[in-house]
Amino acid sequence: MMAKKLAIQGGKPVRETYLPYGRQFIDDDDVKKVVQVLKSDFLTTGPEIYKFEQKVSDYVGANYCVAFANGTAALHAACAAAGVKKNDEVITTPMTFVASANCAIYLDAMPVFADIDPNTYNVSPASIQSMITEKTKAIIPVDFTGQPAAYDDILSIAKARGIPVIEDAAHALGARYKGRDVGSLSDMTMFSFHPVKHVTTGEGGVITTNRKDYYEKLINFRNHGMTRESSVFKETSHGPWYYEMQSLGFNYRMTDLQAALGHSQLDKLDLFIAKRKKYADMYTKAFLDVDEVITPKLKTGCDSSWHLYILRLKLERLSGSRKEVFEALQKENIGVNVHYIPVYWHPYYRQLGYEKGLCPMAEEVYEEIITLPLFPAMTKTDVKDVIKAVKKVISYYTR
């Protein structure tokens, strides 16, 4: 069937200018903080790193926080700290960005994909349980869209086997699970500070943890495996300049420029989350009477930080495909997106032997979802434009 063209409806697009699905919010205070660092003695590995780490750990209620150049580096470090090695298995979800699985491959381990809950789109604890083997050395649940995964069940499953849980909370800074802050629940938790996330450092990420042994391993891993701590030297010091490389680490350090920006951004985090929640609520209320779509569902006890707003299409009620709806919304200048292509569908993973059909629910959901714009720099008018465009397009394609 030839794709329908909304042009036949007549009139102009809903918006004159393009609205992206996500965008950073930078103000004069953020700029001032970065400029101060530019004029200081340190551009990298200076005092701003510690200040930023301390502020994050205080916010989420964790004992330790280690900053990295990006969230992917942080996940790599967390897997290494957890002891993941060659031929080990790491269970994660396919409904995520590729980094959640790639971090295992970096250590010559293999990702194992568990299917998702059809309501929340988070990884299913039952599916995790079915995937555990003697080779399982870590579980990486993802707090998809900002809603925490089912941690009572996941942590119970992991604890029974002595398996570390590395929480990928790239979407979930500021979220809460049954009264507890995300960042203090799991053995290690990763937050990302990419520009579309809740706060940004440009690129950047952190791992929070309550375990000192993980903290020390993370610190070494991000800095070439080197230490200047004389108390842990393996050989006799040559003098005050002495340091040792004790393991193979990486240059995964965050800069003071990034940390200063992040520190300033954290001052606005609660405001940013409040706006996201407000706009998400506007979407949900507006689409309750649209029978052709399914709005996000939150589990009892989960307080989402709303990184993404996912609309699921009831394609059986529509004459157009997901692609046609997507392209029609773009023509209305609404910057929709899709999160995510199942990880093992990518050519690289296909070359490793992964095949379609591993996680039927994740694949079904992927075929039907669209991500709507949601970010704190939006206005109410922007949100209303998105609602108007979605209703216009859905109405056009309704059978």
Indicate which residue of 5, 39, 137, 197 is catalytic.
197
Rg, C-alpha atoms of the chain: 22
147 contact partners, CB below 8 Å, separation of at least 6: 120, 122, 172, 175, 296, 298, 299, 302, 304
Tell me the C-alpha to C-alpha distance, in Å, between residue 205 and each of 78, 187, 195, 225, 374.
Answer: 12, 16, 11, 19, 21
Beta strands in the chain (DSSP E): 64-68, 89-92, 110-113, 136-140, 166-168, 176-177, 180-181, 188-192, 205-209, 226-227, 244-245, 293-294, 302-303, 309-313, 369-372
Phi then psi for residue 268, to 5 deg, are -105, 5
User: Are 124 and 148 spatial neighbours (Cβ–Cβ below 8 Å)?
Assistant: no
126 contact partners, CB below 8 Å, separation of at least 6: none
CA 193/CA 267 separation, integer angstroms: 14
Cα distance between the two ends of the chain: 14
Q: Within 13 Å, how many C-alpha atoms sit on residue 114's CB side?
A: 28
Residue 277 annotated in active site: no
Active site residues: 197
